[in-house]
Structure 1
């Protein structure tokens, strides 16, 4: 084999070994040991939550560091992590332990609550109040066991049997329902831009609702009061609903019977309404004085009798303009017939409010 080929093979093997070592070191997290461009942060956890040394530390879905040490103390677990110094992470955050998969593989997720500084630095400490850990497996299994043992098997069997009876023969209807849901989802997908715009403006809507929270709470209290009142009259409501059909039928018959009589009646009321519209002030005065007069009429007088006195006044005075003057009046003894002039009548403006001159339209 020529020397040039041997050199090429040697270089290839060396490059392959370096690449494998680098990839293996990155996968095992050993590259951080060769570099000091990190800063340490300590975190107080109530319990480990399955976290282990060399576990990943993520920030917004990106690995930014590793867990380097875990120390058990009286109040919980003190975790030390190392983060690359190129990552500027706000110190207002929640350090949460999560499971990456169903079989475990826990990692630490840093979830900032703001975007700006101040930022984490070497020696920063995250209090236990800013941390969370997943529920322990034994607690989950214990809760599931309590749930399953608390179910009444007899009642569950009854529910299943009744559900089977209720759904029996409804296969086509359920198929139609599923088909309709598919159509609804397609329509919702086609209106996705409008829905996204609605979600974008939801902040303004929710802010308005938060501002109106006292009003909404008052409305809810009033609704509760109305509901309680209605619940106290449940029997009356049942009677009303039961008689509602008969009442609706009677109203329908009444409307049918009035179809021929009501239009002429309304047509006849139009002139009356026009006449009354020109006498609004007088009607108002009458309606104001009438209750007082009726109340006075109910007051008994002497011997249980009500006494009314009507005083006639000449206000306005009798109209004399437009009539035959007194000098031309006939004698009372003259019984012959005489034609009445057609133009005779009161011609004094406003003298006779109830005269022919005051008729609407004259």
Structure 2
């Protein structure tokens, strides 16, 4: 058959494309170069047992695929696992931890390489790693689970399974959203691998704090258990509260809606009152303590004195002690009663002698300072300044 020149060109192009595709398949999927030892390093891992590993098991480096298990062999009382690793990866071998993990309950074991440093030296062809970090055998886990389930009454276990089925019924879309969200988190962590690895490497300090706070956490869970037990014991009351909660919430919302225009102003005024009450807290407490017996005494004065009650006597005291003039307007400066214009007071207008003087002992100069205990002064500024100096001594009323 005679082939035209155009057909020969087509056949040649198809042959070239076929060779390229087959080569790409051999390199990318079949990994023929790696099978021939090109671009890979052979490292041995010594374990106490095979731990369910098998040829072609995955080997990861900080969660990233790094190679596969080539073979396993028994050496005395250990198992030697031969791994083929990607030679392009620089895996630090100082304090290198090799752990065997399981992807699921049915097996699928893989090896995780977790270096404790980022610096050289790195794993090279022919290196050997010793490790004892193996997963809990599935048989042991099944036995422990069977023992735990055996301690639970069958009726309670059946109730748990039934209620769990009711709880998760028709929740497939919600669970799918959770799984999709976890996939997004994992994808984001893979795209930001360096920060994620840094976070994982430094998570030990945080976990150590949780271990140190183990007693507090157990105490908190105990308190939580007591709360849930109390809720269970008062299930009827809690149910009634939840049943009537909607109506109460509606009424509360209506109340807040009606007081919204005036509530900010009222709260602002209450803040001022609260500040005053904070300062005069001790005085208010004293009034509340002393007022009841004083009221009882006042009643006894009216009704007549009895044993243990107060007795009111009337006596005349003339100039004992004499009146206080210090701090007030001098007699020669006082205005006529006929003058009614409002003027500023030129003096403090309180008895300004020393606190120990007998004149007007209950006057303003002896008022206790609420913000500065132990200090007595006639006004707030003097209290905050630590007191006030006497204005003088009280002259004899009959003096010059």
TM-score if structure 1 supplies the norm length?
A: 0.42
* Greater helix proportion: 1
Q: Which has the higher contact order (CA 8 A, sep 6+)?
A: 1
What TM-score does the superposition give when structure 2 sets the normalisation length? 0.39
